[in-house]
Amino acid sequence: MIRTFGSRAGRLSKTNKHFLQLESDCLLDLDKYIKKSSRDVLIDIGFGDGISLSQDIINNSEILFIGIETYKKGISRMIEFYETKQIKNLLLHNGCAKEFIENLKTKVKFVRIHFPDPWPKNKHSKRRLVSINFLQLLAQIMKPDGLIQIITDSNVYQQHIKEVLRKQNFFEQISIFPINYAVSTFHKKGMKKNHKIKEFNLKVKII
């Protein structure tokens, strides 16, 4: 299995380090059981700095968000958000998305992957998160009415995703994803560069 990379530190402030040292209830290890909830579950893979995710959590209190991010700074900011705002609908995992999903026992309603690393060079294409194998993995943990949203401003990645979707048989494309999202830092950068931003909205295929 090609990992989506484990936890990464980068430059951390004293505040970042403080919140990372907390044994926050929102943190999930691979073997930590997710309590049953009446809320639908949304997995957000690669939420970055967490600015848009924070707003989405506030705007969608009826949804339980599970944020997965490799970078500790983003995780730290979301722990701070969770602890200071007394958030009730957020869980976090700092590590590899594929490993987390492989160990997940909970069925989820929504998955979103916004602006994943495009790995534009051909020699790095196997590192791209979106693949037939990954879609198959997602299909195994999703509810029958499960939905996925993938957004990218990379033309290379857009073409890659189109090819993956053409070859797979787990999901079919739909026009609209029902959960609105706040515009993220990466989304703003893409718009500033006049990149074409493409949404791929998918639902579980009934076979």
Q: Where are the domains of the chain?
A: 26-204
| pLDDT the model gives residue 124 | 85
The Cα 136–Cα 140 span in angstroms is 7
The Cα 26–Cα 94 span in angstroms is 11
The low-confidence residues of the chain, meaning pLDDT below 50, are 1-3
The number of beta carbons lying within 10 Å of the beta carbon of residue 174 is 14
The Cα 148–Cα 146 span in angstroms is 7
In sequence order, the β-bridge partners of residue 92 are 27, 67
Q: Residue 34 burial by CB count (10 A; 0-12/13-18/19+): exposed, middle or buried?
A: middle
| pLDDT the model gives residue 62 | 96
| pLDDT the model gives residue 205 | 93
The beta strands (E) that lie in the chain are given as 40-45, 63-69, 90-94, 108-114, 142-152, 171-174, 198-204
Q: 40, 44, 117, 153: which one is catalytic?
A: 117
Please tell me whether residue 193 adopts helix, strand or coil conformation: coil
Phi and psi at 129, nearest 5°, equal: -65, -45
| pLDDT the model gives residue 89 | 96
In sequence order, the β-bridge partners of residue 196 are none
Phi and psi at 166, nearest 5°, equal: -65, -30
| pLDDT the model gives residue 2 | 43
Domain 26-204 maps to which CATH number in 3.40.50.150, 3.40.50.12500, 3.90.79.10, 3.30.70.60? 3.40.50.150
- Tens digit of pLDDT for each residue in 56-82? 999 999 999 999 999 999 999 999 999
117 is catalytic: yes
